[in-house]
């Protein structure tokens, strides 16, 4: 099913490429845009994960440098019966995490230093189990390709400001068409993201709770991340908003008008579902911030993460 969804997504974003190209440069512009889309699709399939990790300055960890964090991911992968993914750390004060890669055998998970500094071990395990659930569900290919293609569509639309114009006979709508596409193409790409992301977050929450065995800890982690993400800037995410849907919690500081384009379900709805799962498992509803953060000291930013 996810393979079909991935194919439909790529087709939809490729069509957007063609529409933007047509409104900027007519039939010739559409053909050029479709050619760019074909090359971008192929490149994104093999390299989108590397692009996203590079965007965020993610540093690879191994068993020696990753310490307890690496061991948590290793243990969760074993519980889930999955290949061990590559593990990355992002030096960013906002607590957050994402997964990427085209399949479970070529997957990577990344967490920020802020996540390890603010969450305890059980909560970190819940978050990383959520990301492994995305990998297991093969969501990561769709999510990563979406980030790459949506960003490319936004860039293509912005080119219209420079290469379109009222006296351009190849542009059927003239300057108005160019301006409309500069505004509407990124929004259209965001709507496609929204359509594929919200349901997948609920599925990954349930899968993560199953892998970690602690839906209560994941619920607590989501609450902490959402609260901190609303107060702490993620500069790299603001520069690359097309990647926002990859994170466990939206890393962007959206205004009220932007809420309609949110790629994530409401945190409160996710927490309620996880609390219900915890109650069904007999774990109770009073899990709080028990336990110390994995990293003590807000200034600790390098070295072994055990």
**Range in 78-82, 166-170, 171-175 the model is least confident about:** 166-170
Q: Considering the entire predicted model, what is its pTM?
A: 0.78
Is 109 in a helix, a strand, or coil?
A: strand
Q: What confidence category does residue 205 fall into, taking pLDDT thresholds of 50, 70 and 90?
A: very high
Mean pLDDT of 287-291: 57
Question: How far is 13 from 144, CA to CA, in rounded Å?
Answer: 13
Q: What is the band of 15 on the pLDDT scale with cuts at 50, 70, 90?
A: confident
Q: What are the C-alpha distances in Å from 300 to residues 114, 252, 294? A: 10, 24, 11
Please name which of 62, 69, 56 lies closest in space to residue 144, comparing C-alpha atoms.
Answer: 56
Residue 114, both tokens: 């802020």
Domain-embedded: residue 285: no
- Is 78 part of a structural domain of the chain? yes
The better pLDDT of the pair 10, 259 is held by 10
Mean predicted lDDT score pLDDT of the chain = 80
What share of the chain has pLDDT > 70, as a percent? 69
For residue 47, pLDDT beyond 60: yes
Residue 77 forms part of a structural domain: yes
Domain contains 305: no
210 part of a folded domain: yes
Integer CA distances (angstroms), 180 to 28, 34, 147, 152, 262, in order: 19, 20, 22, 17, 21
Instruction: Please say whether the beta carbons of 69 and 116 come within 8 A.
Output: yes
- 215, two tokens: 């839906």
Query: Is 72 contained in some domain?
Result: yes
Q: Which domain holds residue 135?
A: 2-280
Query: Torsion angle of alpha carbons 112, 305, 55, 208, nearest 10°?
Result: -50
List the catalytic residue out of 68, 74, 123, 131.
131
DSSP assignment letter at 84: P
Q: Provide mean pLDDT across the span 172-176.
A: 58
Asked if 125 contacts 79 with a C-beta cutoff of 8 angstroms, the reply is: no
111: nearest Cα among 133, 136, 129: 129
pLDDT band at 274 (very low <50, low <70, confident <90, very high): very high
pLDDT tens by residue, 89-127: 999 999 999 999 988 999 999 999 999 999 999 999 999
Q: Which helix (H) or strand (E) holds 199?
A: helix 174-212
Tokens of 85: 């993914």
- The number of domains in the chain is 1
Does 123 participate in catalysis according to the annotation? no
**Within a domain: residue 93?**
yes
State pLDDT tens for residues 132-168.
999 999 887 777 777 666 667 766 666 665 655 445 5
Q: Is 293 helix (H, G, I), strand (E, B) or coil?
A: strand
Detail the DSSP E strand segments found in the chain.
Answer: 59-61, 86-90, 97-101, 107-112
Q: Greater confidence, 1 or 37?
A: 37
236 in any annotated domain: yes
Average pLDDT over residues 255-283: 80
pLDDT in tens, 207-236: 999 999 999 999 999 999 999 999 999 999
How many secondary structure helices (H) and strands (E) does the chain include?
9, 4
* 295 close to 117: Cβ distance less than 8 angstroms: yes
């Amino acid at each position: 099913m996810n393979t079909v969804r991935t194919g439909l997504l790529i087709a939809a974003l490729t069509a957007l490429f063609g529409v933007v190209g047509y409104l900027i440069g007519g039939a010739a512009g559409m053909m050029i845009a479709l050619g760019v889309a074909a090359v971008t699709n192929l490149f994104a399939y093999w390299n989108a994960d590397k692009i996203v990790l590079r965007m965020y300055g993610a540093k690879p960890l191994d068993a020696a440098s990753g310490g307890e964090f690496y061991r948590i991911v290793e243990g969760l992968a074993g519980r889930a019966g999955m290949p061990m993914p590559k593990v990355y750390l992002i030096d960013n004060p906002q607590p957050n995490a994402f997964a990427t890669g085209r399949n479970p055998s070529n997957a990577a998970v990344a967490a920020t230093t802020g996540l390890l500094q603010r969450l305890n071990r059980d909560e970190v395990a819940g978050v990383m189990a959520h990301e492994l659930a995305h990998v297991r569900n093969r969501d990561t290919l769709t999510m990563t390709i979406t980030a790459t293609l949506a960003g490319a569509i936004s860039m293509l639309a912005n080119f219209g400001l420079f290469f379109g114009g009222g006296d351009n006979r190849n542009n059927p709508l003239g300057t108005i068409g160019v301006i409309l596409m500069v505004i509407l193409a990124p929004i259209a790409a965001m709507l496609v993201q929204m359509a594929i992301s919200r349901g997948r977050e609920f599925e990954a929450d349930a899968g993560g709770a199953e892998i970690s065995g602690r839906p209560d800890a994941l619920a607590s982690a989501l609450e902490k991340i959402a609260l901190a993400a609303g107060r702490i800037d993620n500069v790299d995410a603001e520069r690359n908003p097309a990647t926002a849907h990859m994170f466990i919690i939206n890393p962007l500081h959206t205004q009220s008008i932007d809420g309609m384009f949110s790629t994530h379900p409401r945190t409160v709805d996710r927490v309620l579902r996880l609390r219900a799962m915890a109650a069904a498992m007999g774990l109770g509803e009073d899990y709080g911030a028990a336990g110390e953060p994995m990293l003590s000291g807000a200034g600790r930013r390098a070295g072994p993460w055990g």
